[in-house]
Amino acid sequence: MSLLEVASLDAGYGELQILSDVDLHVDEAEYVTIVGPNGAGKSTMMKSVFGLTTYMGGRIEYGGTEISGYDPEQIIREGMGYVPQNDNVFAPLSVEENLEMGAYIRDSRPQEAFDRVYDRFPILRERSEQRAGDLSGGEQQMLAMGRALVLDPDLLLLDEPSAGLAPDLVDEMFDRIDRITESGTAVLMVEQNAKEALRRCDRGYVLVNGENRYMDSGDALLNDEQVRQDFLGG
């Protein structure tokens, strides 16, 4: 059974439909990437899974529970984390306070969970008392992922994690995502660096105009001549 199963999903914003009849699944501990041209609906797909768009039809199941129409807090309680592309840290708060915000549904402060995040991202331990807004772009991205990982989700949604990073930090970010999946957390990612994302992931989806166009292993999509010409720059 898939960890996440999306079937015939229709979704958008208000009365504006963006996604039409989209299918997608993620298995336990699997690394799945969504690529496609600008305006294809990739980020809308991520937001729809996390309950941030208008649900119009189809089915979303997570861990065997239908979550179609759930709000984000309900989805977090089901064991899913989400890192948006923009505004993904609380800039005026310290690093540690940001992690505390990630654990707001807990009745007590989960120090062990914070320690796991600090072990994964040691620079955050060094910066624990620093304002999140004063961190570098790469450090902010680590903090955003760390906050989503505080509750130890089974699935982590990542929307354009390399966006805005200096070129020398992009490989480091992908390496960190690799380690997250190696630890047993499944990842569903939208990524602008399509070639690198497909090279590293288990499976990929190509979304075009809000609809499924291709689905295959990352390597197969990289080696598909039509996919390369149309979406990967040849």
pLDDT tens, 98-153? Answer: 999 998 888 777 789 999 999 999 999 999 999 999 999 899 999 999 999 999 99
Domain segments of the chain: what residues?
4-231
Phi, psi of 56 (to 5 degrees): -120, -15
| pLDDT at 234 (0 to 100) | 63
pLDDT above 80: residue 214? yes
One-letter amino acid at 184 equals: G
Query: Top-level CATH class of 4-231?
Result: alpha beta
